[in-house]
Amino acid sequence: MTNLGDAIRERKSPVSLALAHAIADWQQATARVLAALAAPREDASDPWLDQRTSPLGTRAHCRACASGAVKGARKVGRKWLARASAIDAYITAHGRPATRASSPPANDVEQELLPVDDEAAIERELRAVGYTARGRARRA
């Protein structure tokens, strides 16, 4: 018994040749899909992490992936994906970035507080810098 594609090719008409090519393309696509389905699944013990689930934090994760420092990282849409093992290797090699808790805030400056006990002391301080209870003092 002959193959349908071979029988069509024997006739050599343009329509039959186009049909033979379409059948061959369909067979190849079907074979690729079946091969992908039969391929072993990814290891669940090494999941893909995006910047929201990364132990590096959002900005450090994106910066490291974009620079190529994290092996195998890829951008999918607006997310940078990397294997957990690759992130662990990056942390081992470069260390973990500083967290907010370990560094003091930039505005953490001790200020001298003025002792204010009553309204009269407040008015005196304001008058000293040119303000009155009704607004800015007029200069004569």
Query: What is the structure's pLDDT at 1?
Result: 47
Percentage of the chain lying above the pLDDT 90 cut: 37
pLDDT digits (tens, 9 = 90+) for 12-58: 677 777 877 889 999 999 998 888 777 666 666 889 999 999 999 99
What pairs with residue 80 in β-bridges? 75
In eight-state DSSP terms, residue 135 is E
Query: How many angstroms separate the CA atoms of 21 and 135, rounded?
Result: 89
Let me know the angle formed at the C-alpha of 99 by 112 and 50, rounded to the nearest 5 degrees. Answer: 145
Query: How many angstroms separate the CA atoms of 34 and 29, rounded?
Result: 9
In eight-state DSSP terms, residue 42 is P
Roughly how many angstroms between the first and final C-alpha of the chain, as a whole number? 116
Amino acid sitting at position 19: L
Query: What is the structure's pLDDT at 117?
Result: 64
Residue with token string 């067979």: 27
Please state the φ and ψ torsions of residue 87, each to the nearest 5 degrees.
-65, -40
Query: Would the pTM count as exceeding 0.85?
Result: no
